[in-house]
Amino acid sequence: MFFGDNGGGDQFAFVQKPQRPDVFVWEHESDSRRWVANNLRDYLGRSLRVGGDDWYQL
């Protein structure tokens, strides 16, 4: 389930099956999916701490 994006096309999502709290990013240019956070709280903490639209690529 997608819930946000970075403003450049990459989108953030939860996996529904199997259901899990992890957050993944779908990178639109490569059609790849990659883990970025343990859960929504972790996602918000990481994105706010680092800042910028590409914080998850570090």
Q: Is residue 45 part of a domain?
A: yes
Residue 11 lies in a domain: yes
Predicted local confidence at residue 58, as pLDDT? 63
Rounded to whole angstroms, the Cα distance separating 20 from 8 reads 26
Helix (H) or strand (E) holding 25: strand 23-27
Please report, for residues 4, 32, the alpha-carbon distance to residue 11 in angstroms, rounded to integers and kept in the order given: 6, 11
In a domain, 20, yes or no: yes
**What total of structural domains would you count in the chain?**
1
Q: How far apart (Å, rounded) are the C-alpha atoms in residues 7 and 17?
A: 26
The predicted pLDDT at position 43 comes to 94
In a domain, 56, yes or no: no
The whole domain housing 43 covers: 2-49
In a domain, 55, yes or no: no
Residue pLDDT tens, the chain, 58 long = 999 999 899 999 999 999 999 999 999 999 999 999 999 999 999 989 887 777 888 6
Is residue 54 in a domain? no
Domain assignment of residue 58, yes or no: no
